[in-house]
Chain A
Amino acid sequence: MTEVVHHTIEDKKVLDAPSKEWEPKIIGFLCNWCSYAGADLCGVSRYQYPTNIRAVRVMCSTRISAHLVLDLFRAGADGVILGGCHLNDCHYITGNFHTEKRFRLMKELLKDAGIEPDRLRLEWVSASEGEKFSKVVTDFTEQVRKLGPSKVKKDAAVKAKVEAADGASETFRLKALVGKEYNLEKTGNVYGNRLEKSELEKLIDLAAKDEYERSLILVLSKEKPRSVKELGKIMDLPADKVLRHIVVLRQKNMISMDHPEGLTPTYRTIEIGGEQ
């Protein structure tokens, strides 16, 4: 899918295109049944909006994985907007409820990665809301313009962080938690209990933070072996926490220790390793 998206919007070229005057590069994912139809209506009705957006049609907004979005940010997108049906109007009944959950995770991960969360927006636009579509796009483009160009291209550190956030979004743990979030909250878990929204969000946020930090350790230790203290400094994280992450990563066979001659071991990412 990622490749399809890249291909469709030729994003690599679009995003890399040199221009003297910076223009925000924005990608929009629109669901087939509501938002895309709304965008069409917008056109039919000749409502105007800035040209920065490249829209991609998907069948349902819930098709957009966190990885898809984070990968775009990694490639240098300045903004991403998701459009779906209004809640309870989803063509696929509950798809957009899941989108909502996933959207929250994307925001969390963006925050962790140091990308302004305002570069990502989710809007419900129905097939009849042509005008709303133009307003939303105009507003979002302005918002992104104000934020300026994404730091990803200039700042290698931010790029590494976004890569880490992307890596985290692909872990089974986060996919599983966010995938189940809506049902756990609304229809109940296997014991027939509905989970408290705030508690569930807290649990997911903690998991997201863990996975992001672990993912960042792997990204940073891919370049060269690094010590716990060094990682702590780069990540602005207490060294003991870094060590605890490394313990987990070693258990999963994703990072290995180089036995030191001195007192400070270093760790390197195992590229062939990892969970199945």
Chain B
Amino acid sequence: MSTDAAHKSASQGGNGGDEHFEPRILVFCCNWCSYAGADLAGVSRLQMPPYFRVIRTMCSARVDPEFIMRAFQKGADGVLVAGCHPADCHYIGGNYRTRRRMALMKVLLQQFGFDPDRLRLEWVSAGEGEKFQKTIIEFTNTIKELGVSPMKGGE
């Protein structure tokens, strides 16, 4: 499915799940690559579903596991962490750490009864507006399929 068509279906309720389910997705973007990539998506007017909210950190390595747990605890349906591609990190190797940390988080989430797909790590560079769009669309679809967070009575 094309990204735009996918966006459409994501906006209209995805392939499954509740028609009126407006998932709440939190996105952590690193300042140098992913946040810039998200900006470029905007400059290029790439359309995507409006259910995500971005929090900017200087480096994806700043995203503490506790932030993710808190987000789920407060009712986030999905959390996306976006950072520079492994070799591009503005802070040299920060994102390698992010990768290891996220793998661990997924295991933890599962133990708490969350589908690990509710957490996603993605590399988005400053030039990849389209990848940011694609990631948001795909992730929104995933979350729509997974439905409402178990914290709010789903799953």
- The chain A residues found within 8 Å of chain B, CB to CB, are 225, 251-253, 256-259, 268, 270-273
Q: Pick the contact of A253 from B1, B5, B46 — CB < 8 Å? A: B46
- The chain B residues found within 8 Å of chain A, CB to CB, are 1-5, 8, 11, 44-47
Q: Which residues of A contact B2 (CB under 8 A)?
A: 225, 256-259, 268
**Contact residues of B: prevailing secondary structure:** loop
Q: Which residues of B contact A272 (CB under 8 A)?
A: 8, 11, 47
Do B3 and A256 touch across chains, with their CB atoms under 8 A apart?
A: yes
Q: Which residue of A lies closest to B46 (CB)?
A: A253
Tell me the total A-B contact number using a CB cutoff of 8 A: 27
Q: Pick the contact of B1 from A258, A270, A271, A273 — CB < 8 Å? A: A258
Do B45 and A253 touch across chains, with their CB atoms under 8 A apart?
A: yes
21 A-B residue pairings within 8 Å (CB atoms): A225-B2, A251-B44, A252-B45, A253-B4, A253-B46, A253-B47, A256-B2, A256-B3, A256-B4, A256-B5, A257-B2, A258-B1, A258-B2, A258-B5, A259-B2, A268-B2, A270-B4, A270-B8, A272-B11, A272-B47, A273-B47
Q: Which residues of B contact A256 (CB under 8 A)?
A: 2-5
Q: Which residues of B contact A253 (CB under 8 A)?
A: 4, 45-47
Kindly list 14 other residue pairs between chains A and B, CB separation below 8 angstroms, not including A251-B44, A253-B45, A256-B2. A253-B46, A253-B47, A256-B3, A256-B5, A258-B2, A258-B5, A270-B4, A270-B5, A270-B8, A271-B8, A272-B8, A272-B11, A272-B47, A273-B4
Q: How far is A117 from B46 in the complex, measured between Cα atoms in Å? A: 39
Q: Which residues of B contact A259 (CB under 8 A)?
A: 2
Do B46 and A268 touch across chains, with their CB atoms under 8 A apart?
A: no
Closest 6 CB pairs of A and B: A256-B4, A256-B2, A270-B4, A258-B2, A253-B45, A272-B8
Chain A nearest CB from B110 CB (Å) reads 31
Chain A nearest CB from B136 CB (Å) reads 15
Q: How far is A271 from B46 in the complex, measured between Cα atoms in Å? A: 14
Chain A nearest CB from B93 CB (Å) reads 32
Chain B nearest CB from A26 CB (Å) reads 41
Q: How far is A273 from B46 in the complex, measured between Cα atoms in Å? A: 10
Chain B nearest CB from A265 CB (Å) reads 10
Q: How far is A225 from B8 in the complex, measured between Cα atoms in Å? A: 16
Q: Which residue of A lies closest to B2 (CB)?
A: A256
Chain B nearest CB from A6 CB (Å) reads 30
Chain A nearest CB from B153 CB (Å) reads 31
Q: Which residue of B lies closest to A271 (CB)?
A: B8
Q: Which residues of A contact B44 (CB under 8 A)?
A: 251
Q: How far is A252 from B5 in the complex, measured between Cα atoms in Å? A: 15
Q: How far is A252 from B4 in the complex, measured between Cα atoms in Å? A: 12
Q: How far is A256 from B44 in the complex, measured between Cα atoms in Å? A: 14
Chain A nearest CB from B134 CB (Å) reads 10
Q: How far is A181 from B134 in the complex, measured between Cα atoms in Å? A: 42
Q: How far is A251 from B46 in the complex, measured between Cα atoms in Å? A: 9
Chain A nearest CB from B1 CB (Å) reads 7
Chain A nearest CB from B43 CB (Å) reads 11
